[in-house]
Amino acid sequence: MVKDMQGEVVVLIGGSGGIGRASAIRFAARGAHVVLVARGRSGLEAVAEEIARQGGQADVMPADMSNPEAVRQLAAEVANRHGRVDVLVYGAAVFYLAPAEGLQLDRTRQAMDINYWGAVHAVQAFLPLIRRGRRKSITFISSLSVPCTPAFFTAYAAPKHALHGFAQSLRQELRPEGIAVTLVTPGPVDTQLIEGHLHQDMYRLPLGVPVLTADQAAEGVIQAVLRRRAEWVVPRRFGLAARLSRAFPTLLDAYYRWTIPGWTQTVLRVTEPHRGRAPVGQAEDQTGSGAADPDTGAEPEPGAGPEPVRTSAPAG
C-alpha cells in the first residue's frame, strides 16, 4: 500500500464497524493517524487493535455526536493530541424504517439528531482544526436513498437529504479557503444489521441494484478524499441513475413498479394498518424496523417489513 497519507490526522466519526471500520483500516494503511470516534468504546478499541496489528496508528475517543458540548470536548482533545485535522469523515448514523403515518416521532427525531445534526456539530467543532491541516478535507457518508428514495424511507432519507443540502452549501462556503467538501453516496451495504431484513416488504431492491460489501463502500470513501470530488457514488455506474432520478423523480417510482412484482400491492399492504392514525411515541407503536448500531457508529442498513421494534442505543 502506498503511504500517500503519511502523518496525516484523520478523524473518522462512526469508526467501529461497517463502512467506518473498513475506511479506518484503509486510511491507517496509507500512513494516516486515525482518530476513531463512536458512542461505544469497545468496538472502537477492537478496530484500533486491528490497525495496530497491521502497523498503523489509531486513537480511541468515544463521543455522543448528538450532544454539541460532547463534540466540542472531543475536538478539544484532538487539538491537544494532534494540533490539527487533515481529514474529517462523518459516517455516524441510525436507521429507522416505517410507513409515514406509523412513524414513531421520538425515533424519527433521533435519526435527525445523529444523521444530520451530528454532522453539523462535527463541522462547527472541527473546522478550526481542519484549517490548520494539510489536506483540508471534509467527507460525509450519505446514501443512494437520497437521489433514489423509495417508499418507507421517510425517517432515514429526510436527514440524509438535509445532510446533502448542508454539504453542498458548505462546499461553496469553504472552497475559497481550499477546503474540499465531499459526499460519498453508497448503495445498499452488507453489514450485520442487514441480515434478515433485506428483500422483505419495506426493503425491496429493484432489478440491477447490487448489495455492496463494506470494503467496496470504504474504497469509495478513500477515493473521494484523495480525488477531492464533490460527490462519489458507489458503485460508480450508479452515478447516471442518481442524476436521472434527480432530473425525473417519477422515473424511480416507475422502475420499482416495473421490476418488483406486486410492488403496488406490497405498499398498500404495509401502509393499510396505519391509515388515519395519529403520530405515536415509541411505547405506543410496534411497527417499523431498523436500529442504531449499538456500538459502531457505522451506517446501519435498512431493515425489513412489519416486525416488533428492536431497541438499541444510537450510534455516534
Residue count (the chain): 316
**How far is residue 144's CA from residue 257's CA, in Å, rounded to a whole number?**
19
> Could you tell me if 226 and 4 are in contact, meaning their C-beta atoms sit under 8 angstroms apart?
yes
156 classed as catalytic: yes
Residue 239: how many other CB atoms lie within 10 Å: 15
How far CA 187 is from CA of 51, 147, 156, 242, 294, in Å, comes to 26, 11, 14, 10, 22
* Whole-number CA gyration radius for the chain: 19
**How far is residue 51's CA from residue 261's CA, in Å, rounded to a whole number?**
45
Shortest CA distance to 9 belongs to which of 115, 42, 30, 124?
A: 30
**How far is residue 258's CA from residue 261's CA, in Å, rounded to a whole number?**
7
**Residue carrying C-alpha cell 493517524:** 33
State the Cα torsion 22-27-28-33 to the nearest 10°: -130
Choose, from 156, 203, 255, 256, the residue flagged as catalytic. Answer: 156
Alpha-carbon torsion (41, 43, 45, 51), positive or negative? negative
Q: Which residues participate in catalysis according to the annotation?
A: 156
